[in-house]
Amino acid sequence: MVTGIRQMTVEQYLAFDEASEITNEYIDGVMIPMPGGTGNHNAIVAYTIGTLTSLLDISDCLVYASQMRVSIDETKYVYPDASVVCGESIYQDENKTNLLNPTIVVEVTSPSSLARDHVDKVTYYGAVPSIQCYLILDQERVFAECYTRTEDGWRLRQYASLDDVIPLEPLACSLPLARVYRGMVFAD
C-alpha cells in the first residue's frame, strides 16, 4: 500500500485537493502530497511541455501541464508532470479537472517519486486504455525511459544521450533529448 498523510474517501479527497495550495495524488483511499520540484525538475518539465507544444502546433493534440489531474479509475487520481490528449479531451467532471483520456503522460523523476514512477505508475498508466505512451525523464542525468503500448503490453526503450531523439509514435513526432535537457549540467 502507498504511504500518504491520511485516509479519506474519494469525495473528501476531491474537495480537499481543490482547496489545497499543493497538488495531492490519491491512491485507494490514501492522499499523497506532491511537493514542489527542484530547479532541474521544473526546467525539464517546462522544456518538455514547450517542445511538445511546438511540435504539435498544427495537430489536434493539446498539451497539459502538471496541474491537470488524471483519473486512473474511481479510486486513483494522479498528476503527471505533463500529459497530451489528441482529439477531444474527455473529463470526469463539469469543472474539467479530472482528465479521462490522455494519449501520452510524462513524469520527471525525483528522489521521493522514483519507485512510484518506475513501478506503480507503469501499472496505473497501463490500465488506462487511451494512454499509448508513458515517458519517464530523469532529473539527475540525461536518461529517459519510454513505454509504448503494444498488443502485448508495454514496450520499453531507454535513451541516455543528448543525441537521442525519442519517437513518440502516437503523436507522430519525435522528442529530442537535447531540447529536454537544454543547458543542464549534472554532477558526475
The model's pTM: 0.93
Q: What values do phi and psi take at 109, rounded to 5?
A: -70, 150
> Any idea where the domains of the chain sit in the sequence?
37-180
DSSP string covering the chain, please?
Answer: ----SEE--HHHHHHHHHH-SSEEEEETTEEEEEPPP-HHHHHHHHHHHHHHHHHTTTSSEEEE-TT-EEEEETTEEE--SEEEEESS--BSSTTS-EE---SEEEEE--TTTHHIIIIIHHHHHHT-TT--EEEEE-SSSS-EEEEEEETTEEEEEEE-STT-EEEEGGGTEEEEHHHHTTT-----
**How would you write the pLDDT of the chain (188 residues) with one tens digit per residue?**
454 456 899 999 999 999 988 889 999 999 988 877 788 999 999 999 999 999 999 899 999 999 999 999 999 999 999 999 999 999 998 889 999 999 999 999 988 788 888 899 999 999 999 999 999 999 999 999 999 999 999 999 999 999 999 999 999 999 999 999 999 988 76
What is the fold of 37-180?
Answer: tt1808, chain A (3.90.1570)
Q: Distance between CA atoms of 77 and 83, rounded to whole angstroms?
A: 14
